Structure 1
Amino acid sequence: MNKQEFTITVYTENRIGLVSRIAIMFSRRKINIESLNTSPSEIEGIHRFTIVIEETEEVVRKLVRQVEKQVEVLKAYYNTNDEIVWQEMALYKVSTDEIAEKIKVERLLHKYGARAILIRKDYTIFETSGHREEIDKLVKVLEPCGLIEFVRSGRVAIIKGSDSFHAKIKAFEKSEPGETVVENEFLDKQDEVFSM
């Protein structure tokens, strides 16, 4: 089997140390994480990890099953690039003098979908979003024009299918509602005795 790029989406409770435990699962298997992004999900109290790796589907399938065994993990999915809509965001810091002299800024902004978010005498910062290849093309254009600094975010992705994790959670709550909390009168009375 050939390796290909997969995006793993993991829905978790928001717990300290979970990122490092998940990262260790990848490093033990000698799998390099190309991109890692964590953010709140559409469900309050639940976070979403988006992890990009290059591996065979068999290895990814086993890895996702292992990730799901973590107590705080609610669900994990893996998808190919054809099954998701995804973007990355990038910032470019460029010498203002160089960019003003060598490039028609309006043309640059239009062609690469970039926009200036900060203009100073010494440098200008541009922002754009897109696929990695598009972002890298703009890096090559800006390198000869005094590119000072460049940073790219991790991938953000949404699965193309119409089912949502939020809908699955709501359906689960309806079919298996949580237990109601019942006060233990015996413990309350013991607490009263000990507090006297």
Structure 2
Amino acid sequence: MEKETKQFTVSVYTENNIGLLNRISAIFQRRHINIESINSSVSEIESVSRWTLVVNLSEEQMKKIIGQIDKQVEVIKAYYHTEEEIIYQESCIFKMRSDLLFDERQIQNIIKDSNARIVTVNRDFFVIEKSGRKEEIEMLQRELSVFGIMQFTRSGRISVSKDEMKISKMLETFNH
């Protein structure tokens, strides 16, 4: 019987070293698990990076993978959370032809209704930025695709946990 899969958000606190991303992605690759999204950034502690990955698998698999990630020398600590345990966002930008902004009144309504914002406008194109849940971004993409999107890109998930993360205190001692 197959285990129930669900979406998990993985947070990995790490030193910023070359090659670590390859080793961590190999942990997922060996198990034939696709990484849905990945984001890397600085964390709340100086000199410590935080990676946020989104994967779909069973909790049993997730626990094993977290154990493997934690064994990497440069990894300080790895955590996983369910959708209900985090607050998260994604961001995206769309590049569209400028004439659409002035000739298609519907585009302005779509931008307003989706809580997106125009970042820049020039003679040839304009750029729209939207932050929100994956579903909101996908809906905006569907609505704008009717008019022709010149370019589109979306970030990986960024998240914070609803509960206190003890890692901050641990990292403070690591940093001193």
* 1:50 aligned partner: 52
* 2:67 aligned partner: 65
Alpha-carbon displacement from aligned partner over 1:156-190 (angstroms, at most 9, x marks no partner):
0101102342123346789xxxxxxxxxxxxxxxx
Could you tell me which of 67, 76, 79 is aligned with 2:78?
76
Two-structure CA RMSD over aligned residues (Å): 1.7
* 2:96 aligned partner: 94
Within 5 Å, give how 1:1-196 maps onto structure 2.
1-170=3-172
Greater shift, 111-120 or 30-39, is seen at 111-120
Give 3-state SS (helix, strand or coil) of 1:145's partner: coil
Alpha-carbon displacement from aligned partner over 1:35-91 (angstroms, at most 9, x marks no partner):
010111111111101000011111011000000000111100000111000000000
Q: CA 1:142/1:173 → structure 2, altered by over 3 Å: closer, same or farther?
A: closer
Alpha-carbon displacement from aligned partner over 1:128-172 (angstroms, at most 9, x marks no partner):
100110001111111111211111001101011023421233467
Task: Give the conservation status (yes or no) of the 8 Å contact 1:90–1:135.
Answer: yes
Q: Which has the higher contact order (CA 8 A, sep 6+)?
A: 2
Q: Which has the higher helix share?
A: 1
Please state how far the C-alpha of 1:104 moved relative to its aligned partner: 4.2
Distance in 1, Cα, partners of 2:104 & 2:175:
60
Alpha-carbon displacement from aligned partner over 1:82-103 (angstroms, at most 9, x marks no partner):
1000000000111111232223
Distance in 1, Cα, partners of 2:169 & 2:116:
35
Give 3-state SS (helix, strand or coil) of 2:18's partner: coil
Distance in 2, Cα, partners of 1:100 & 1:18:
47
Give 3-state SS (helix, strand or coil) of 2:40's partner: strand
Could you tell me the TM-score, scaled by structure 2's length?
Answer: 0.92
Identity %: 39
Give 3-state SS (helix, strand or coil) of 1:70's partner: coil
Query: What one-letter code is carried by the residue in structure 1 that aligns with 2:151?
Result: E
* 1:193 aligned partner: none
Q: CA 1:108/1:173 → structure 2, altered by over 3 Å: closer, same or farther?
A: closer
Distance in 2, Cα, partners of 1:93 & 1:10:
32
The runs of 5 or more residues in structure 2 that have no matched partner are: none
Max Rg structure: 1
Task: Give the conservation status (yes or no) of the 8 Å contact 1:98–1:146.
Answer: no
Query: What one-letter code is carried by the residue in structure 2 that aligns with 1:19?
Result: L
Distance in 2, Cα, partners of 1:129 & 1:109:
12
Distance in 1, Cα, partners of 2:15 & 2:116:
35
* 1:178 aligned partner: none
In the comparison of the two structures, how many residue pairs are matched? Answer: 174
